[in-house]
Amino acid sequence: MLWIKAFHIVFVASWFAGLFYLPRIFVNLAMVPADSLAERDRLLLMAGKLYRFMTILMFPAVGLGLYLWLVIGIGQGPGQGWMHVKLLLVLSLLAYHFYCGRLHKVFLLGINTRSHIWYRWFNELPVLAFISVAILVVVKPF
């Protein structure tokens, strides 16, 4: 079980690295001047590669978490309300992940209408989720 936990943490941390950095690339894309095609293309290439890589990392992170929950039984039983909130946050992060893929397509099509300021705020959401999940898992407040 400890090996499963360790690999779950590794894959979650790796997935989160992408969740932290991809929206930062979007901030930069939103700031690229219209005549700077080389910079735009380079950032789009980076964003696409990062999105594919973080998607690969997401699957074992979620799969190992489900194994710990459903097979090992972590977070099951009375007094495990923290797990319900954690699962809600994980579902929200999955939605965030796939929304990032949609935003990448918006930039590829050249139809982005949001400012770099919007992306800066959007970039903070996984940080708040990470802090919340870490507190829930370690402290188990309810």
pLDDT value for 101: 98
Domain count, the chain: 1
pLDDT value for 115: 98
What is the chain written as a DSSP string? -HHHHHHHHHHHHHHHHHHHHHHHHHHHHHHS-TT-HHHHHHHHHHHHHHHHHHHHHHHHHHHHHHIIIIII-TT-STT-HHHHHHHHHHHHHHHHHHHHHHHHHHHHHT-----HHHHHHHHHHHHHHHHHHHHHHHH---
Range of the domain at 98: 2-139
Burial class (CB in 10 A: 0-12, 13-18, 19+), 91: exposed
**Average pLDDT of span 93-109:** 98
pLDDT value for 41: 98
Q: Which two tokens stand for residue 75?
A: 């977070």
Tell me the per-residue pLDDT of 37-86, one tens digit each, with 9 for 90 and over. 999 999 999 999 999 999 999 999 999 999 999 999 999 999 999 999 99
